Amino acid sequence: MLTLRADCERCFGLCCVAPAFSASADFAVGKPAGQPCRHLGVDFGCTIHDHLRQRGFPGCTVFDCFGAGQQVAQVTFGGRDWRSSPELARPMFEVFGVMRQLHELLWYLHEALTLTLTPAEPLRADIEAMITEIERLAGQDADTLGALDTAAHRDRANTLLLRASELARAGMAGPDHRGADLIGRKLGQTDLRGASLRGAYLIGADLSNADLSMADVIGADFRGANLSKADLSTAIFLTQAQLDAARGDTATGLPATLRRPTHWVSQPIQENRSKRSDIWSTE
């Protein structure tokens, strides 16, 4: 099975070179695709890694390649790097984008397998078959990967992921906020058990004390969201990157497979709330 967790020491700083990013709240400066970040060191490490947020690069802290970097560097290109072999730069950067999508799909599919212990059991064989297929694709050569139609595989995988989520949440009658604009909304103490928050915009939202048990949060944007004292211990498809983009505290309930971000406060955030908030309240 492929490793779906980044091992930066076995990569060649691909996430610091291949993608483009624009100057914004997430990045102090912008750069075009294929150009090394000014902070990329000669050893392919980030020279400001321990101070990214303080230096204006919080966007870097929430990026997750799901292990695609070392797969491309060590397997697809056999340990050859783009600096000593400049002719490999363009194909390596292109393949990195493809591989990251494949590894992300694999991560979600493996998460879906944990749901097959619930009423989603009938999907287990289909999920396992797709995992096998994507792992096979991830082992192909650079030319094959470069020509891969990742959108088609993503559509097929998403159908399985959605069905697994629906079966796992069946009977919970959670609210449907798929793709909803909940930016800055006051959702503190809201009952979101079994909710669909797939692709929802929760930037800067207040979710303190909210119950997100078995809520589907795949693709939800939690940047700057307040998750203090919220219960995400059984949230479906929650990623480390989503947590890293949010704010929380020691009282935030998390799945055992994810770590509490180091920038979160070390003590529970104290807030005064007299009643449960309406999910659509903007006051």
Q: What is the pTM of this model?
A: 0.90
Phi, psi of 97 (to 5 degrees): -60, -40
- CA 239 to chain CA centroid, Å, is 5
SS (H, E, C) 221-274: ECCCCECCCCECCCCECCCHHHHHHCECCCCCECCCCCCCCCCCCCCCCCCCCC
Round to whole Å and give the CA distance between 178 and 68: 28
SS3 109: helix
Helix (H/G/I), strand (E/B), else coil: 16: helix
Inter-residue contact 79 to 92 (CB < 8 Å): no
**pLDDT by residue, tens only, the chain of 283 residues:** 678 999 999 999 999 999 999 999 999 999 999 999 999 999 999 999 999 999 999 999 999 999 999 999 999 999 999 999 999 999 999 999 999 999 999 999 999 999 877 777 889 999 999 999 999 999 999 999 999 999 999 999 999 999 999 999 998 989 999 999 999 999 999 999 999 999 999 999 999 999 999 999 999 999 999 999 999 999 999 999 999 999 999 999 999 999 999 989 765 555 544 333 333 332 2
> Any idea how long the chain is?
283
Q: Which structure tokens are listed for 14?
A: 């691909």
CA atoms in the 13 A half-sphere facing the CB of 45: 8
Check if the beta carbon of residue 156 is closer than 8 Å to that of residue 101.
no
Cα separation, 237 vs 42, in Å, equals 36
